[in-house]
Amino acid sequence: MTRGLCIVTGASRGIGAATAIAAAKAGWDIAVNYVTDRDAATQVVNEIRECGRKAIAIQADVAQEVNIMRLFKQAEDELGAITALVNNAGTTGKITRVEDMSSEAMKSVLELNVLATMICSREAVRRMSTKRGGAGGVIVNVSSISPRIGGANEFVHYAASKGAVDVWTVGLAREVAADGVRVNAVAPGMINTELHAAAGDPERAHRNAPSIPIGRAAEPEEVASAIVWLLGDEAAYCAGAILEVSGGR
């Protein structure tokens, strides 16, 4: 029996891909959102189908509202009613100090990390809310421990964007909990993904491992497990929670 349809944004690699596969194993059909790497998204879809679940890959840059609207419509048209959303798509931007940061760099981080999360959440609530005729559902936002740390000398703009995600999570959770929609977030610490290379420092996770109390960076699957737990019935009384997966950092 399916739990319904879960949209996972940025699901062709890293935490998103691991989450899409783990959620499928837990019973969801999956809309695998990607921006450019169709081959990687197709591989994730194939792994999901091997689990016996339905899946499609949908190309959409969720930094643009028109693409979000198309993503939700295509997912519904092909896989049915949306019951879960994982707002995973995000970027750190390049490593840079604030005085060297362009307004374009700030804007691109905010558009993907904050506005995309907000608009995707809005579209999910419109479909899930019992007040609007939906059957309820769950949203999990992928945040970060960076708002607590600050991101100095690397990602202050990223940390600020994830601080916004945290506030959005708490506020939206309180707004729609009575309408059958649970909203929570997972806040990863140092994770072994391609994000570090994209930011300009491929060895960042390995280099920073000694500063983590557990002594290592996490693998994407460890974050995915937390996300899928929040998606599931075991977390039925969680609303507005921000669950850190940081190795004690």
Q: What is the pLDDT of residue 200?
A: 64
- Taking residue 97's Cβ as centre, other Cβ atoms within 10 Å add up to 10
Tokens 């679940």 sit on residue: 53
CA distance 105 to 157: 9
Query: Which range of residues forms the domain containing residue 71?
Result: 4-245
**Separation of CA 47 from chain center:** 19
CA distance 229 to 102: 38
Per-residue model confidence as pLDDT tens digits over 115-150: 999 999 999 999 999 999 999 999 999 999 999 999
What is the SS3 assignment for the chain? CCCEEEEECCCCCHHHHHHHHHHHHCCEEEEEEECCCHHHHHHHHHHHHHCCCCEEEEECCCCCHHHHHHHHHHHHHHHCCEEEEEECCCCCCCCCCHHHCCHHHHHHHHHHHHHHHHHHHHHHHHHHCHHHCCCCEEEEEECCCHHHHCCCCCCHHHHHHHHHHHHHHHHHHHHHHHHCEEEEEEEECCECCCHHHHHCCCCHHHHHHHHCCCCCCECHHHHHHHHHHHHCHHHCCCCCCEEEECCCC
Among candidate residues 28, 34, 155, 158, the one labeled active-site is 158
Residue type, 37: D
- Is 237 considered catalytic here? no
Name the residue with higher pLDDT: 188 or 198: 188
CA distance 143 to 186: 6
Assigned token pair, 57? 């890959």
Domain count, the chain: 1
| % of the chain with per-residue pLDDT over 70 | 94
Assign residue 46 the CATH number of its domain: 3.40.50.720
Asked if residue 1 has pLDDT above 60, the reply is no
Tokens 């699957």 sit on residue: 221
What are the residues facing 114 on neighbouring strands? none
What are the residues facing 4 on neighbouring strands? 28
Q: What is the pLDDT of residue 191?
A: 82
Q: What is the pLDDT of residue 44?
A: 98
CA distance 142 to 136: 20
Per-residue model confidence as pLDDT tens digits over 161-193: 999 999 999 999 999 999 999 999 999 998 876
CA distance 158 to 198: 14
Mean pLDDT of 80-87: 97
Per-residue model confidence as pLDDT tens digits over 49-60: 999 999 999 999
Q: What is the pLDDT of residue 214?
A: 87
Per-residue model confidence as pLDDT tens digits over 205-244: 677 777 888 899 889 999 999 999 999 999 999 999 999 9
Burial 111-123 (b: 16+ CB within 10 A, else e): bbbbbbbebbbeb
Write down the mean pLDDT value for the chain. 94
